[in-house]
Amino acid sequence: MSPWAKLAIAILVEVGATISLRQSDNLSNLGWTAAMIVGYIASFWLLAQITDQLEIGTIYAVWSGAGTAIVAALGVWLFDERVTGTRIAGVILIILGVVALNLDGGHGSASETHATGDASPRVPSAGD
Q: What is the pLDDT of residues 104-120, one digit of tens each?
A: 765 555 554 444 444 44
- How do the domains of the chain map onto residue ranges? 3-116
- Distance, in Å, from the CA atom of 125 to the CA atom of 77, rounded to the nearest integer, reads 48
Full-model pTM: 0.78
Do the beta carbons of residue 10 and residue 47 sit within 8 Å?
yes
Contact 43, 21 (CB under 8 A): no
Q: Is 29 exposed, middle or buried (0-12, 13-18, 19+ CB in 10 A)?
A: middle
pLDDT in tens, 68-99: 999 999 999 999 999 999 999 999 999 998 88
| Distance of alpha carbon 47 from alpha carbon 70, whole angstroms | 18
**Gap between the Cα atoms of 25 and 22, Å rounded:** 7
